[in-house]
Structure formats: C-alpha cells, structure tokens
Amino acid sequence: MQMKLLTVVAAVAFAFAGTAAQAQSTMGAKPSVDRAQKKADRDKIEADYKAAKAQCSHMQGNEKEVCEADAKGKENVAKAELENKYEPSQAHSRKVDEAKAEHQYKVTKEKCDRNKGKEESACEKEAKAKYEKDKADIKAKYASNERRSATGSTK
C-alpha cells in the first residue's frame, strides 16, 4: 500500500515538474512568426500603396505631389507597424513613431509649396520646427523607457 502511494506521489511530482518546465521554456520564446501571413500583410501594404499612388495619377501640380507624399508616408508607416506587429520591441515602436512624424512632416511640407515667397518659407519653417519637436519628443519618450528598463524600475 505504501509502495503504491509512493508511486502515485512520484508520478504527480513528475507531472507537475514537466508542466512547469514546459511553461518556463515557452515563456521566454518569441511568438512564432507566420511567414505566409507576414508576406500577405506585406503584399497588402504594397497593393495599398500602388492603389493610393494610382489615385494621384489624375491630379496635377502640387495636389499630385501632396497625394504622392501621403501615399508613400502611409506605406512607410504601415511597414514599420508590420515589423512591430511581428517583432514587438522598443526599437520597432520607436520606428513607428518616427515614420508617423516623418510622414506628417513631408505631407505638410508639400502643402507649403502651394504658398509663395514669405508665406511658403514661414510654412516650411513651422513644419520643420514641429517635426524637430516631434523627433525630440520621441527621443525623450524612448530614452526614458530605456532608462527604466536598464534600471529595472517600472515607475
């Protein structure tokens, strides 16, 4: 009777040990990347860009340049978001924020070309100042996150 009890206890202990080891080994692993889905997402981004750029083809002058800058910026943002989706990290999150800031800057700068002379110059300076502020904010945001993770603090 004691032998049966000892065998049952040993079997339960091994079962728990195996489950704990399996859970521990999968916790640190990166999620498996579905290559087919990632390629499909990448192809969709490319198709969306081509469609957006095709809509610009009937436009002329500055309107066309703004449209093309917007299409290219959206493509770059989508690519950065795709990388962050499949390989989440601080670096990829930062690239998403940077791509968004750059997209906004380039579109705004193209829109400034509608103006002439001093108005155009003032508009471009304002766009550049906002872009530089956005970049500084991004840098500060991720520098503080890096400091927190380096020190182990969650505050």
113-144 pLDDT tens trace: 999 999 999 999 999 999 999 999 999 999 87
Angle of helix 61-86 versus helix 35-56 axis, rounded to 10: 170
Instruction: Please check the confidence at residue 147 and state whether its pLDDT lies above 70.
Output: no
Q: What is the mean pLDDT of residues 20-24?
A: 45
Binning pLDDT at 50, 70 and 90, where does residue 150 land? low
Output the DSSP codes for 51-79.
HHHHHHTT--HHHHHHHHHHHHHHHHHHH
Binning pLDDT at 50, 70 and 90, where does residue 27 land? very low
